[in-house]
Amino acid sequence: MYVECFLKRKILTEECLLSSGYDSQLNYFLTFLQVERGLAKNTVDSYRYDLEQYAHFLKNNGFNFLEATQGIIFNFLDYLREQNRSARTRSRKLAAIRSLYRFLLQEGKIKNDPTENITSPRLEKNLPRVLSVQDVDLLLSQPNSGTVLGLRDKAMLELLYASGMRISEMLGLDTEHLNLEMGFVRCLGKGSRERLIPIGKVACRYINEYLSHSRLKLRKKSFVRAVFLNNHGRRLSRQGFWKIMKGYAYRAGIQKEITPHVLRHSFATHLLENGADLRAVQEMLGHADISTTEIYTHLSQGRLREVYEKAHPRS
C-alpha cells in the first residue's frame, strides 16, 4: 500500500510539473495532500489558492518557498492585513503555509521550519447561526410531499436536520450508503473519514417514500447510484439544493438567513440542549477535534441564560 501511494504520488507530481508552470515544491505538496492524506478536491483547491497567493508574494520579493524566512512570512501577514483581509482569512492562509513547511521539513527540503514560532491571528468567536425548533418545523413543513419534487425536497430537508450532515456529504450519498431498516446512513466526510450516523423514524419514512416513488420517476430509466437526483436524472448539485432551500425559507417567512450549514448547527445545538453527550455529537458531526464541537455548548449555555432570565423572579 505504501509503495502504491509513493508511486502514485511520483507519477502525479511528474504530471503536474510537465503540465504547469507552478513551483515544483507546491505541486509536490498538493499531490501529497491528494494521494497520501486523501483530502477532498475542494480542500486541496483551497490549499492551492492560498499557497499560490503566498508564492506570488515571495516571487515579487525575490524569494521562493525554500528561501523564505520567518520575517518574510510576517511581511506576508502584514500585507494581508493592509489588504483588509480578516483575521480568519489570515489565520487560514498561515495554516496552509505552516502545513507546507512541515511537509518540506519532513521531506528534508529545509532544515528549519520558518513558521515554528509564528502564532495565528486572534479570532473573534462568532457563534454559528441556529434556528429555533419552531422555525425548523416551519421550514420542514413547506415541501408538498404529494408531488415528485416536493417529496424529494421533504426527504432531503428531513435527512439534513436528522443527521447534521454537511450538504456535500448528503448530496454525495449513493443508495448503498443507506440502511433505513437499521436507521443509519454511512457518510464519507472530510479527509475521506467514514462515519455511521443514526437517523430518526421521520427521516427514514420520507426517504423510503422518495426512493419508492419520486426517485424512480426522476431516474428516467438510467442507472445512477446517487440518492438525490435533479430533473435530468443526475446527482443534485449544491447550487440546486441552495435554491430549493432558499425558496422554502422564503415561503415559510423565516427572517433569519438560512443556509444548509444552519441546519447542521441547529441539529447539534438542539441535541445538546436536550442532554446529548458532547462526544456523541462530535462523532455524528464528524469533527476531528472536540474543541470544534464545543462551540455549540456556548450556544446551549446562552439558551439556559435566556430561560433563567425569563423564569427566575430575581434575575
The predicted model scores a pTM of: 0.61
Does residue 120 lie within any of the structural domains?
no
Is the pLDDT assigned to residue 191 strictly greater than 50? yes
Domain holding 83, by residue range, is 2-106
Catalytic site residue from 102, 195, 287, 303: 287
Query: Is 256 tagged catalytic?
Result: no
Better-predicted residue by pLDDT, 19 or 210:
210
State the burial class of residue 230 (Cβ atoms within 10 Å of its Cβ: 0-12, 13-18, 19+). Answer: middle
Does residue 36 lie within any of the structural domains?
yes
- Identify the H or E element spanning 178: strand 178-179
Is the pLDDT assigned to residue 219 strictly greater than 60? yes
Catalytic site residue from 261, 279, 298, 305: 261
Does residue 140 lie within any of the structural domains?
yes
Is the pLDDT assigned to residue 162 strictly greater than 50? yes
Does residue 55 lie within any of the structural domains?
yes
Is the pLDDT assigned to residue 307 strictly greater than 70? no
Q: Look up the CATH number of the domain holding residue 82.
A: 1.10.150
154 lies in the same domain as 93: no
Is the pLDDT assigned to residue 22 strictly greater than 70? no
180 lies in the same domain as 261: yes
229 lies in the same domain as 178: yes
143 lies in the same domain as 101: no
Q: In the 8-state DSSP scheme, what is residue 198? A: E
100 lies in the same domain as 172: no
How, if at all, do strands 194-198 and 178-179 pair? unpaired
Query: Is 56 tagged catalytic?
Result: no
143 lies in the same domain as 268: yes
Does residue 126 lie within any of the structural domains?
no
The pLDDT, as a whole number, for residue 125 is 59
The pLDDT, as a whole number, for residue 126 is 62
248 lies in the same domain as 294: yes
Write the pLDDT tens digit of every residue in 59-79: 998 888 888 899 999 999 999
Distant-in-sequence, close-in-space partners of 205: CB < 8 Å, separation ≥ 6: none
Helix, strand or coil, per DSSP, at residue 217: helix
Better-predicted residue by pLDDT, 13 or 51:
51
151 lies in the same domain as 193: yes
295 lies in the same domain as 170: yes
Q: Report the chain's terminal Cα–Cα distance, integer Å.
A: 62
Q: Look up the CATH number of the domain holding residue 280.
A: 1.10.443.10
31 lies in the same domain as 160: no
Which grid coordinates are listed for 74?
510576517
Query: Is 287 tagged catalytic?
Result: yes
Q: Which of 221, 225, 224, 246 is nearest to 153 (CA)?
A: 246
Query: Is 296 tagged catalytic?
Result: yes
Query: Is 190 tagged catalytic?
Result: yes
How many domains does the chain contain in total? Answer: 2
Q: Give the number of residues written for the chain.
A: 315
| CA 101 – CA 137 distance, rounded (Å) | 48
Catalytic site residue from 98, 177, 186, 190: 190
Catalytic site residue from 166, 215, 265, 270: 166
Encode 268-283: b = buried (16+ Cβ within 10 Å), e = exposed: bbbbbbeeeebeebbe
Which grid coordinates are listed for 76?
506576508
Mean pLDDT of the chain: 83
Query: Is 166 tagged catalytic?
Result: yes
Helix, strand or coil, per DSSP, at residue 229: strand
Catalytic site residue from 48, 264, 265, 270: 264
Q: Write out the DSSP string of 10-42.
A: HHHHHHHHHH--S-HHHHHHHHHHHHTS---HH
47 lies in the same domain as 165: no
98 band by pLDDT with thresholds 50, 70 and 90: very high
Does residue 119 lie within any of the structural domains?
no
The pLDDT, as a whole number, for residue 305 is 57
26 lies in the same domain as 147: no
